[in-house]
């Protein structure tokens, strides 16, 4: 470990939350991220070369999704990542490289016409890849802007053929204690789980990511399949997905189980709703250190605000 930093909020392990990583990331970026990024890059390049889907990249950019800020340099976004399966610090690139992302089977089950399993490369053949520039706002008030490659989650939902009674999609990460040392931590409710309503999952912004920076995603980004929901805090963006379960029960997500008073199911970005322990009014760019005002729904209100107008949602904590 290059820099060992203490958790900023000094709470016991059993109340540990993702923001320790984020504090570390900010400290790191102030203290020489370029050096650390460079030390990870050789392994990263190798992984991309041996990926059987490499010829699918770069995919055509979908110009509908534009940024209001410069794209984060790859060396910054890829040299510090949050992936608790591989450690509770930011420098998970080397550890995550041990995860074998081929063969990789995705299970589709629950309330679907026909439960099935599909290999990632067959899934890629069934989908059309595109690149999207998305903002990424972490719950701990840092942000970046990333060129993801992948396919709309709506296309995946159509492929999965859920029954009309399905209300949610529950997503689950792999479980392999031999390769992911973090999964031996007894307190955490492994495997990592996240969930979306069907309306969220089929919103045009919900994106299943297979690549980044014009090539297959490096493991630390959540290869071979992760979610990007840019109007929500980053912890909703589950990495290394192995299972999608369609259900009429609201799933309990990983961080909701760990610390439900601070991390909820909805987790929509809102600068006016503070985290119980800090303000969400502004955010810090991980590459430049520049601070800017945080935007409601991370600036994606025109796409998603309509999802939350239902009077039935009154009383729900939509912004934590």
Q: Does the annotation flag 239 for ligand binding?
A: yes
> CB 87 → ligand MTE: shortest distance, Å?
9
Residue whose CB is nearest to ligand MTE in the complex, by number: 234
Q: Does the annotation flag 39 for ligand binding?
A: no
- Cα-flanking dihedrals φ and ψ of residue 207, to 5°? -135, 130
> CB 31 → ligand MTE: shortest distance, Å?
18
Q: Which is nearer to ligand MTE, 20 or 111 (CB)?
A: 20
Measured distance CA(294)–CA(13) in Å, rounded: 29
- 187-to-12, 190, 192, 255 alpha-carbon distances in Å: 11, 9, 13, 12
Q: Does the annotation flag 138 for ligand binding?
A: yes
Q: Which is nearer to ligand MTE, 111 or 270 (CB)?
A: 270
Report helix, strand or coil for 67.
Answer: coil
Beta bridge partners of 117: 107
> CB 144 → ligand MTE: shortest distance, Å?
7
DSSP string for residues in 167-180: -EEEEEE---TTT-
> CB 61 → ligand MTE: shortest distance, Å?
19
Q: Are the CB atoms for 59 and 130 separated by under 8 Å?
A: yes
> CB 192 → ligand MTE: shortest distance, Å?
4
Size of the chain in residues: 320
Q: Which is nearer to ligand MTE, 90 or 111 (CB)?
A: 90
Measured distance CA(280)–CA(286) in Å, rounded: 16
Q: Does the annotation flag 13 for ligand binding?
A: no
Measured distance CA(52)–CA(61) in Å, rounded: 21
- Cα-flanking dihedrals φ and ψ of residue 15, to 5°? -110, 15
Give, as one character, the DSSP assignment of residue 250.
Answer: P
The torsion region of residue 70 among left (phi > 0), alpha (psi -120 to 50) and beta comes to beta
> CB 312 → ligand MTE: shortest distance, Å?
28
Positions that interact with ligand MTE (CB under 6 A): 18, 81-85, 138, 173, 192, 221, 234-235, 237-240
Instruction: Give 99: exposed, middle or buried? Use CB within 10 Å, 0-12, 13-18, 19+.
Output: buried
> CB 174 → ligand MTE: shortest distance, Å?
8
Q: Which is nearer to ligand MTE, 111 or 171 (CB)?
A: 171
Q: Which is nearer to ligand MTE, 195 or 234 (CB)?
A: 234
Q: Which is nearer to ligand MTE, 173 or 203 (CB)?
A: 173
Give, as one character, the DSSP assignment of residue 265.
Answer: S
* Other Cβ atoms closer than 10 A to 182: 17
Q: Which is nearer to ligand MTE, 74 or 85 (CB)?
A: 85
Q: List the binding residues for Mo-molybdopterin.
A: 81, 84-85, 138, 173, 226, 237-239
Q: List the binding residues.
A: 81, 84-85, 138, 173, 226, 237-239
């Amino acid at each position: 470990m290059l820099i060992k930093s203490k958790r900023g909020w000094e709470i016991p392990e059993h109340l540990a939350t993702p923001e320790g990583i984020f504090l570390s990331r900010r400290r790191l970026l102030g203290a020489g991220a370029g050096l650390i990024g460079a030390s990870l890059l050789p392994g990263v390049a190798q992984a991309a070369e041996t990926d059987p889907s490499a010829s699918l990249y770069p995919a055509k950019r979908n110009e509908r999704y534009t940024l209001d800020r410069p794209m984060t340099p790859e060396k910054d976004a890829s040299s510090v990542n949050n992936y608790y399966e591989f450690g509770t610090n930011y420098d998970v690139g080397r550890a995550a490289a041990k995860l074998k992302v081929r063969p990789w089977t995705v299970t589709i089950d629950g309330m679907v016409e026909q439960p099935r399993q599909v290999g990632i490369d067959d899934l890629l053949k069934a989908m059309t890849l595109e690149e999207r520039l998305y903002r990424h706002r972490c719950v701990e008030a840092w942000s970046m802007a990333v060129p993801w490659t992948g396919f709309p989650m709506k296309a995946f939902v159509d492929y999965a053929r859920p029954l009309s009674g399905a209300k949610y999609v529950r997503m689950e990460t792999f479980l392999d204690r031999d390769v992911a040392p973090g999964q031996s931590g007894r307190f955490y409710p492994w495997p990592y789980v996240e969930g979306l309503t069907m309306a969220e999952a089929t919103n045009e912004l919900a994106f299943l990511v297979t690549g980044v920076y014009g090539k297959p995603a490096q493991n630390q980004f959540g290869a071979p399949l992760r979610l990007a929901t840019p109007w929500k805090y980053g912890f909703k963006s589950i990495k290394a997905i192995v299972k999608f379960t369609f259900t009429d029960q609201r799933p309990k997500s990983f961080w909701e189980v760990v610390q439900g008073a601070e991390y909820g199911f909805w987790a929509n970005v809102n600068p006016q709703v503070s985290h119980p322990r800090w303000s969400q009014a502004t955010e810090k760019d991980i590459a430049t250190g520049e601070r800017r005002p945080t935007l409601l729904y991370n600036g994606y209100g025109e796409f998603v605000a309509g999802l939350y107008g239902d009077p039935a949602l009154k009383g729900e904590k939509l912004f934590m």
